[in-house]
A and B are shown apart, each in its own frame.
Chain A
Amino acid sequence: MGEPGTKATLSLAELEAATSMRTGRKHVLSILVENKSGVLTRIAGLFARRGFNIDTLTVGPTDDDQVSRVTLTVDGALHPIDQVTKQLHKLINVLKIRDLEPADTVARELALFKVAADGVQRGELMQIAEIFRGKVVDVTKRAVIIEVTGTTDKIEAFEGMVRPFGLIEMMRTGEIAISRGRSET
Chain B
Amino acid sequence: MRAVDAVMECLKAEGVDVVLGLPGGANLPTYDAFVGGGIRHILVRHEAGGGHAAEGYAKATGKVGVAFATSGPGATNLITPICDAMMDSVPVVFITGQVRTELLGTDGFQEADTIGITMPVVKHSFMIQSPQEIPRAIHEAFHIARTGRPGPVLVDIPMDLSRAEIDYEPVTDVHLPGYQPRVEGNQKQVRQAAKALAAAQRPVIYAGGGVVNANASEELIEFATSDRFPVTCTLMGLGAFPAPHDQWLGMLGMHGTRAANYAMDEADLICAIGARFDDRITGKLSEFAPRAKFIHIDVDPAEISKNVPAHIPIVGDAKHVLAKLVIEYRAIGADPARLAAWWTRIEGWREKYPLGYEDSPDAEIKPQFMVQALHEATGGQAIVTSDVGQHQMWAAQYYDFPAPRRWINSGGLGTMGFGLPAAMGAAIGCPDQLVCCIAGDGSVQMNAQELATCAQNNIPIKVFIMNNGYLGMVRQWQELFWDGKYSHVDTGEFPDYVKLAEAYGATGLRFEDKATLVEDMKRAIATDGPVLVDVRVTREENTYPMIPAGQAAREMVG
Q: Which residues of A contact B (CB under 8 A)?
A: 1-3, 5-8, 33-34, 37-38, 41-42, 45, 49, 82-83, 86-87, 89-95
Contacts and interface: CB of A to CB of B under 8 A. Distances in A.
B386 to A, nearest CB: 20
A87 to B, nearest CB: 5
B109 interface: no
B486 interface: no
B139 to A, nearest CB: 14
B302 A83 contact: yes
Contacts of A94: 178
Contacts of A2: 550
B120 A37 contact: no
B115 A3 contact: no
A83 B530 CA distance: 46
Interface of B: 115-116, 119-120, 123-125, 127, 129, 144, 176-179, 284, 300-302, 305-306, 477, 481-483, 549-550
Nearest to A82: B305
B116 A5 contact: no
Nearest to B176: A92
A95 B178 contact: yes
A90 B119 contact: no
Given A83-B306, A92-B144, A7 B127 contact: no
B280 to A, nearest CB: 11
A93 B119 CA distance: 13
17 contacts: A1-B284, A2-B550, A33-B178, A37-B129, A38-B115, A38-B119, A38-B125, A42-B119, A49-B120, A86-B306, A89-B301, A90-B302, A91-B178, A92-B176, A92-B178, A93-B178, A95-B178
B549 A6 contact: yes
B53 to A, nearest CB: 26
Contacts of B482: 6-7
Nearest to B115: A38
B124 A7 contact: no
A1 B302 contact: no
A39 to B, nearest CB: 10
Contact of B119 (A45, A82, A89): A45
Contact of B481 (A5, A82, A91): A5
Contacts of A34: 177-178
Contacts of B177: 34, 95
A70 B119 CA distance: 19
A34 B140 CA distance: 15
Contacts of A90: 300, 302
The 5 closest A-B pairs by CB, nearest first: A3-B550, A86-B302, A3-B549, A92-B124, A95-B178
Contacts of A45: 119-120
B179 A92 contact: yes
Contacts of B125: 38
A72 to B, nearest CB: 17
Nearest to A48: B120
Nearest to B550: A3
Contacts of A6: 481-482, 549-550
A83 B284 CA distance: 20
Which residue among A8, A34, A90 has the maximum number of chain B CB atoms within 10 Å of its CB?
A: A90
Nearest to A90: B302
B127 A37 contact: yes
A89 B477 contact: no
Contacts of A5: 477, 481, 549
B300 A41 contact: no
Which residue among A5, A34, A82 has the maximum number of chain B CB atoms within 10 Å of its CB?
A: A5
B317 to A, nearest CB: 15
Contacts of A8: 550
A89 B302 contact: yes
Nearest to A86: B302
Contacts of B144: 92
A86 B549 contact: no
Given A3-B550, A7-B481, A38-B115, 18 more contacts: A1-B550, A3-B549, A5-B477, A5-B549, A6-B481, A6-B482, A7-B482, A38-B127, A41-B119, A42-B119, A49-B120, A82-B305, A87-B302, A89-B302, A90-B300, A92-B144, A92-B176, A92-B179
Contacts of B549: 3, 5-6
Nearest to B181: A90
A1 B552 CA distance: 12
A19 to B, nearest CB: 12
A1 B549 CA distance: 10
B216 to A, nearest CB: 21
Nearest to B309: A21
Contacts of B477: 5
Contacts of A93: 178
A92 B149 CA distance: 13
B282 to A, nearest CB: 12
A62 to B, nearest CB: 14
Nearest to A4: B549
Contacts of A33: 178
Contacts of B305: 82
A41 B481 contact: no
B116 to A, nearest CB: 7
Contacts of B120: 45, 49
Nearest to B302: A86
Contacts of B300: 90
A166 to B, nearest CB: 41
A159 B381 CA distance: 74
A21 to B, nearest CB: 9
Nearest to B474: A5
A41 B116 contact: yes
A39 B284 CA distance: 37
Given A7-B481, A45-B120, A86 B178 contact: no
